[in-house]
Amino acid sequence: MSNSGRGLLFIVSAPSGTGKTTLVERLVQLVPNLRMSRSYTSRPARAGEQNGVDYNFISRERFDAMVGDGAFLEWADVFGHCYGTSAADTDTLLSQGHDVVLVIDVQGARQVRSRGIETVGVFVLPPSASVLEQRLRGRSKDSEEQIRRRLEVACREVHEFSGYEYVVVNDELDAAVDRMAAIVLAERARVKMMRRRAEEIIGTFADGKDT
Residues that bind ligand ADP (CB under 6 A): 14, 16-22, 135, 138-139, 170, 172-173, 176
Q: How far is the CB of 154 from ligand 5GP (least distance, A)?
A: 10
Site string for ligand 5GP, 55-94 (x = CB under 6 A): -------------------x-x-x----xxx---------
Q: How far is the CB of 132 from ligand 5GP (least distance, A)?
A: 12
Q: Which of ligand ADP, ligand 5GP, none does residue 100 bind (CB under 5 to 8 Å by kind)? A: none
* 26 phi-psi bin (left φ>0, alpha ψ -120 to 50, beta other): alpha
The one-letter amino acid code at 149 reads R
Q: Which of ligand 5GP, ligand ADP, none does residue 104 bind (CB under 5 to 8 Å by kind)? A: ligand 5GP
- Closest residue to ligand 5GP, judged by C-beta, is 108
Q: How far is the CB of 105 from ligand 5GP (least distance, A)?
A: 4
DSSP output for 24-88:
HHHHHHHSTTEEE---EE-SPPPTT--BTTTBEE--HHHHHHHHHTT-EEEEEEETTEEEEEEHH
Among 115, 195, 211, smallest CA distance to 203 is for 195
- Closest residue to ligand ADP, judged by C-beta, is 19
Instruction: Report how far residue 81's alpha carbon sits from residue 39's, in angstroms, rounded to the nearest whole number.
Output: 12
Instruction: Report how far residue 180's alpha carbon sits from residue 52's, in angstroms, rounded to the nearest whole number.
Output: 25
Q: Which of ligand ADP, ligand 5GP, none does residue 105 bind (CB under 5 to 8 Å by kind)? A: ligand 5GP
Beta bridge partners of 55: 51
Beta bridge partners of 10: 101, 120
Q: Given the rule CB under 6 A, which residues bind ligand 5GP?
A: 16, 39, 43, 74, 76, 78, 83-85, 103-105, 107-108
